[in-house]
Every structure is written in structure tokens, then in C-alpha cells.
């Protein structure tokens, strides 16, 4: 299975538009080669470098999506979901996409797509941990797309 974006390449820079410094909309994502037997897809986007890549303390969850239909081929910019798909809770305790907003350093943002042999209708607004627990034993294959982002801090006379 392959996961790509028209907005950035694997390990490339995520454009400002898709971050807290821009419009904070989700980037367009496309996938291909979904395996036979897939009943649903799940997506997790997170940052394992929080708060500082030199001394990471936690993984910050930016987006959780469950029950994407296997016949779908991606998500458009802004993340409009196909029928049946639902968003879970990110680490801002809200549904939907929250873009990169690192306090310091250049962070990795990992978009992970999972092909599952089941659907997960019991998960209404799952956290990443709840989704990972529910997926256990049901992942046929997964793939990743990694984007990078570092905020450009400028001095304006105010600290």
C-alpha cells in the first residue's frame, strides 16, 4: 500500500498552509494498492518529537480517522471525509485535523494509513490509543508518509 500527498514528498517540508502558522487545513492525501480483503482504512497523524526533537517527551496526536471505505483513494485538502468515516480525538481534545505547530526545532509528522480486515462501528470519536487497541489483530498492512516542519521564529522586539 502506498500513501502520498500532492503537497509534500516523503521526508519533505510540509507547506505552511497545512500548519498553525497558515490555514491549518489538512493536506491532500492519496493512497493506492489497498490489499484485497480490506474492509476499512484508518489514519493516524502524529508527531513523535514533542515538544523538542532534541529531547522528545511524548508523541502528539494531530489527527485520527476511522472507517475510511477501502474503495476510497484519498482525502482532499481540508480532509472532507467520505460517507461512513469518522474523526477521532486529537491531543487538543477535539475532532478533526490540527496542523503542525512545534514550539522548537524541526519535527517529523507521521501520517500512518492502516488497511483493516474489519470495520470499527463501535468507535465513535476514538483517541489514538483506543483506535490502536481496536485495530490489534486486524491490520493487514500499513504504510507511512513523513513530513517535516519547523516554525520560523522572527524577533520583532517582543520576547
pLDDT at 158 over 50: no
Please state, rounded to an integer, the average pLDDT across all residues of the chain: 95
pLDDT, mean of residues 78-101: 96
Helix H or strand E encompassing 134: helix 128-135
Contact predicate 11/114, CB 8 Å: no
What are the residue boundaries of the structural domains of the chain, listed by start?
Answer: 2-149
pLDDT single digits (tens) 14-65: 999 999 999 999 999 999 999 999 999 999 999 999 999 999 999 999 999 9
- In angstroms, what CA-CA distances link 123 with 54, 73, 85, 116, 119? 35, 22, 11, 14, 10
82 C-beta neighbours (distance < 10 Å), count: 13
Of the CATH numbers 3.30.420.10, 3.40.190.10, 3.90.280.10, 3.40.50.720, which one belongs to the domain with range 2-149?
A: 3.90.280.10
Distance CA 89, CA 123 (A): 11
pLDDT single digits (tens) 95-132: 999 999 999 999 999 999 999 999 999 999 999 999 99
- Percent of the chain, pLDDT > 90? 94
Contact predicate 68/40, CB 8 Å: yes
pLDDT, mean of residues 75-100: 96
Q: Provide the pLDDT for residue 152.
A: 85
pLDDT at 76 over 90: yes
pLDDT at 145 over 50: yes
Q: Provide the pLDDT for residue 155.
A: 43
Q: Provide the pLDDT for residue 156.
A: 44
| Contact residues for 116 (Cβ-Cβ < 8 A; gap 6+) | 38, 39, 40, 41, 42, 135, 138, 139, 140
Amino acid at each position: 500500500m502506498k500513501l502520498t500527498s500532492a503537497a509534500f514528498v516523503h521526508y519533505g517540508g510540509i507547506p505552511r498552509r497545512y500548519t498553525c502558522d497558515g490555514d491549518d487545513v489538512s493536506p491532500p492525501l492519496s493512497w493506492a494498492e489497498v490489499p484485497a480483503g480490506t474492509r476499512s482504512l484508518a489514519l493516524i497523524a502524529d508527531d513523535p518529537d514533542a515538544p523538542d526533537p532534541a529531547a522528545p517527551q511524548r508523541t502528539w496526536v494531530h489527527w485520527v480517522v476511522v472507517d475510511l471505505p477501502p474503495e476510497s483513494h484519498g482525502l482532499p485538502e481540508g480532509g472532507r471525509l467520505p460517507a461512513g468515516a469518522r474523526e477521532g480525538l486529537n491531543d487538543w481534545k477535539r475532532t478533526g485535523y490540527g496542523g503542525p505547530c512545534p514550539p522548537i526545532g524541526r519535527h517529523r509528522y507521521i501520517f500512518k494509513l492502516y488497511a483493516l480486515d474489519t470495520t470499527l462501528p463501535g468507535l465513535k470519536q476514538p483517541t489514538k490509543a483506543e483506535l490502536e487497541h481496536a485495530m490489534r489483530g486486524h491490520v493487514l498492512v500499513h504504510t507511512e508518509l513523513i513530513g517535516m516542519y519547523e516554525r520560523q521564529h522572527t524577533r520583532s522586539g517582543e520576547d
